[in-house]
Amino acid sequence: MSSRSSPSPSFLFNAVRRLEVAAGASARLGDTAQAWKPASGPAQALVVTDAFLHRSGLLAPALQSLAAAGWQVRVYDGVLPDPSEAVVLAAAELARGVDLVIGFGGGSSMDTAKVVAVLARPGNTLTLAQLYGVESVRAERLPLIQLPTTAGTGSEVTRIAILTTGEHTKAGIVNSALLADHVLLDATLTLGLPPAVTAATGIDAMVHAIEAYTSALKKNPLSDLLAREALRLLGAHLLRAVEQGSDVTAREQMLIGAMLAGMAFENAPVAAVHALAYPLGGVYHLPHGLSNALVLPHVLRFNRPAAEPLYAELAEVLLPGAGGDDASRCDALLTYADGLCARTGLPARLRDCHIPADALPELARQAMGQQRLLQNNPRPVTEADALAIYQAAW
Ligand SMILES: NC(=O)c1ccc[n+]([C@@H]2O[C@H](COP(=O)([O-])OP(=O)(O)OC[C@H]3O[C@@H](n4cnc5c(N)ncnc54)[C@H](O)[C@@H]3O)[C@@H](O)[C@H]2O)c1
Ligand SMILES: [Fe+2]
């Protein structure tokens, strides 16, 4: 990294209070939850998850441990990918009277759990509508534990929840109240993640690191440190995790990488890759990580005039063999990004995902609605630019 002769710009850094990395530790969740047990009366917890994870038995050891520790547990397993407001409200209804909320799953379950912990807090008068936006209101919540079962979103360490608000639109809640009390990274929970989900969620995490590192407004020395280490870990272990899913070491390194990337973009927010990915998820229901993977190389190419030196620095981290000047190392990063989908078995083009060419102008129009993200992009993006990027990705 280049040395600076002037002080770093001032910055603010948010992080969760407590983080535990321990393979198998979800089977001791009852011990972890002890800290939030009420002094008297029955202890009640709500687990927020999806039906597949509930049915699969992955949650069973955690539920047994909670029961053995004296918790009465309700399970809301109605979370669907890209959770809707209706999902959040139904889960919040089931959470009435609980002492603790536990998010168990991918970003969809963890994001739902965050908002439920606010809405179900006794005495809460806030509505969902009031929560949208960046720190739009002062909120408080019930105690919250998060257990990710994908290595991707980093939602476990962010104060962000993304909800599907209409038929096709997504909106974000960014609020300090959404930072969890305790995060548990248990790699055994991710061993059964199918290759395509491992690839898509892992690339999502890589994009978090890349976009945090080039974030125009809030990039800072600490987010840089986290983004670089995240990208190093994710790059070193992604293929192994895709090809040999039962490798607990690769799985744990992916979880740590995704979490570090989450901490990075929590403080240096993501930009155009995500802004262009969201309409693909909203309108065509592509998985979040796949949407990112499809537009990534084309956004990097667009950003290059503004971000080449930073991309060259990331190439050093991701591709230790890459040498030469900034331009050649940036080339190496772009070549890597170009081949990422093919290497991990994902479709590489929008047309492979049944997106019609005549849908691109509407997608570009919708991407312009993501100004919260676009303002962080190293290069300003117009609607015409967004359309050209989608066309290149098609
Ligand atoms: N809060 C944030 O900071 C943040 C950041 C990025 C994305 N997101 C949001 O997160 C959501 C995407 O989350 P995601 O990519 O983790 O996917 P997800 O939670 O939507 O889950 C995707 C699928 O993977 C399955 N799955 C999860 N864990 C599994 C396991 N261990 N084994 C087998 N299958 C498993 C789920 O059942 C589901 O079918 C989107 O709504 C996105 O907008 C949030
Ligand atoms: Fe993401």
Reduced 3-state DSSP string for the chain: CCCCCCCCCCCCCCCCCCEEECCCHHHHHHHHHHHHCCCCCCEEEEEECEHHHHHHCCCHHHHHHHHHCCEEEEEECECCCCCEHHHHHHHHHHCCCCCEEEEEECHHHHHHHHHHHHHCCCCCCCCHHHHCEECCCCCCCCCEEEEECCCCCCHHHCCEEEEECCCCCEEEEECHHHCCCEEEECHHHHCCCCHHHHHHHHHHHHHHHHHHHCCCCCCCHHHHHHHHHHHHHHHHHHHHHHHCCCCHHHHHHHHHHHHHHHHHHHHCCCCHHHHHHHHHHHHHCCCHHHHHHHHHHHHHHHHHHHHHHHHHHHHHHHCCCCCCCHHHHHHHHHHHHHHHHHHHCCCCCHHHHCCCHHHHHHHHHHHCCCHHHHCCCCCCCCHHHHHHHHHHHC
**CA-to-CA distance for 298 and 85, rounded, in angstroms?**
32
Question: Domain 19-189 belongs to what topology?
Answer: Rossmann fold (3.40.50)
Position 9 confidence tier, pLDDT thresholds 50, 70, 90: confident
For the chain, what is the radius of gyration of the CA atoms? 20
Q: What is the pLDDT of residue 8?
A: 67
Judge whether residue 5 has pLDDT over 70. no
**CA-to-CA distance for 292 and 281, rounded, in angstroms?**
9
pLDDT in tens, 33-54: 999 999 988 999 999 999 999 9
pLDDT in tens, 374-394: 999 999 999 999 999 999 999
| Centre of ligand 2 from the C-alpha of residue 153, in Å | 5
| Centre of ligand 2 from the C-alpha of residue 208, in Å | 6
In which residue are the tokens 């002890």 written? 34
Count of C-beta atoms within a 10 Å radius of residue 94: 16
Each as own residue / partner, the long-range contacts of residues 127-130 (CB below 8 Å, 24 or more positions apart, any chain) are 128/85, 128/88, 128/89, 128/163
Residue 33, token pair as written in the block:
């939850």
Judge whether residue 299 has pLDDT over 80. yes
**CA-to-CA distance for 384 and 364, rounded, in angstroms?**
8
**CA-to-CA distance for 85 and 93, rounded, in angstroms?**
12
Q: Is 26 in the pocket of ligand 1 (CB under 6 A)?
A: no
Position 7 confidence tier, pLDDT thresholds 50, 70, 90: low
Judge whether residue 4 has pLDDT over 60. no
What's the CATH code, domain 191-393? 1.20.1090.10
Segments of the chain assigned to CATH 3.40.50.1970: 19-189
Please tell me the number of the ligand nearest to residue 274's CA. Answer: 2
Q: What is the pLDDT of residue 320?
A: 87
pLDDT in tens, 320-352: 889 899 999 999 999 999 999 999 999 999 999
Residues facing 184 on adjacent strands:
20
Q: Which residues contact 198 (CB under 8 A, 6 or more apart)?
A: 151, 190, 238, 241, 242, 245, 254
Nearest ligand 1 atom, CA 160: 1
Q: Which of 108, 146, 183, 211 to mutate to test the pocket of ligand 1 (most atoms within 8 A of CB)?
A: 108
Q: What is the pLDDT of residue 52?
A: 96
Atom 21 of ligand 1 has which residue's CA nearest to it? 106
| Alpha-carbon separation of residue 140 from 95, 120, 124, 176, 183 (angstroms) | 15, 10, 8, 9, 18
Q: What is the pLDDT of residue 60?
A: 97
Please tell me the number of the ligand nearest to residue 278's CA. Answer: 1
Amino acid at position 293, single letter? A
Segments of the chain assigned to CATH 1.20.1090.10: 191-393
Average pLDDT, integer, range 275-295: 94
Judge whether residue 2 has pLDDT over 70. no
Residue 203, token pair as written in the block:
């690339």
Judge whether residue 3 has pLDDT over 60. no
Atom 20 of ligand 1 has which residue's CA nearest to it? 81
How would you classify residue 154: left for phi > 0, otherwise alpha for psi between -120 and 50, otherwise beta? Answer: left
Q: Which residues contact 359 (CB under 8 A, 6 or more apart)?
A: 283, 284
Q: Are the C-beta atoms of 392 and 300 separated by less than 8 Å?
A: no
% of the chain with per-residue pLDDT over 90? 92
Q: Which residues of 363-387 are buried (b: 16+ CB within 10 A; e: fewer)?
A: bbebbebbebbbebbbbebeeebbb
Closest CA to 221 of 43, 6, 9: 9
Judge whether residue 283 has pLDDT over 90. no
Judge whether residue 122 has pLDDT over 70. yes
Judge whether residue 1 has pLDDT over 80. no
Q: What is the mean pLDDT of the chain?
A: 95
How would you classify residue 123: left for phi > 0, otherwise alpha for psi between -120 and 50, otherwise beta? Answer: left
pLDDT in tens, 200-212: 999 999 999 999 9
Closest CA to 23 of 188, 153, 144: 188
pLDDT in tens, 130-176: 999 999 999 999 999 999 999 999 999 999 999 998 877 788 999 99
Q: Which of 173, 189, 263, 288 to mutate to test the pocket of ligand 1 (most atoms within 8 A of CB)?
A: 288
Atom 9 of ligand 1 has which residue's CA nearest to it? 107
pLDDT in tens, 57-114: 999 999 999 999 999 999 999 999 989 999 999 999 999 999 999 999 999 999 999 9
Q: What is the pLDDT of residue 144?
A: 98
pLDDT in tens, 232-273: 999 999 999 999 999 999 999 999 999 999 999 999 999 999
